[in-house]
Structure 1
């Protein structure tokens, strides 16, 4: 898996699977535009931690679906690695992709 580079990519791309293996990053055009607009209106490019906290606060105060989508994109890599490690240590009937989705949406496999 190639790590994502840059704030826009981190907050606008999602894991793609092919035959239960990582195959690349899919970009959501709406999220990409949203992050570009935010970065253009920001005086300086902040860290991914800054933007994670920013989108979390937007989600908490506005119940924004865009904020949830940005946070979901942000969590893609860590959820993938947890799912991969889990599926290797505890072989079950769940595929890597299924395990990934359960971790992403429910917090556990």
Structure 2
């Protein structure tokens, strides 16, 4: 298991944290850490397009207190699937660890 991706959020903007390479599958653990002084709202989605699909949210405006961590484990992704993240402040750091395997 290794670090697959890391990203510091831009406030209010959804971004692709990680995309599974062609011919691979992945099992991913996600960590969102609020390094700011105020609470943040966090969103996480899985999809295949350029933006998070409306039906792909696995966290939606979850409150993340200052100095707190949100973790989601064992997110199973197929080739081409993307992990999208978003936070209401620019103080949230997202990290994805996991295992990629030949599909």
Shorter-chain TM-score category?
under 0.3
Higher helix share: 1
Higher strand share: 2
The TM-score normalised by the length of structure 2 is 0.24
The TM-score normalised by the length of structure 1 is 0.23
More relative contact order in 1 or in 2 (CA 8 Å, sep 6+)? Answer: 2
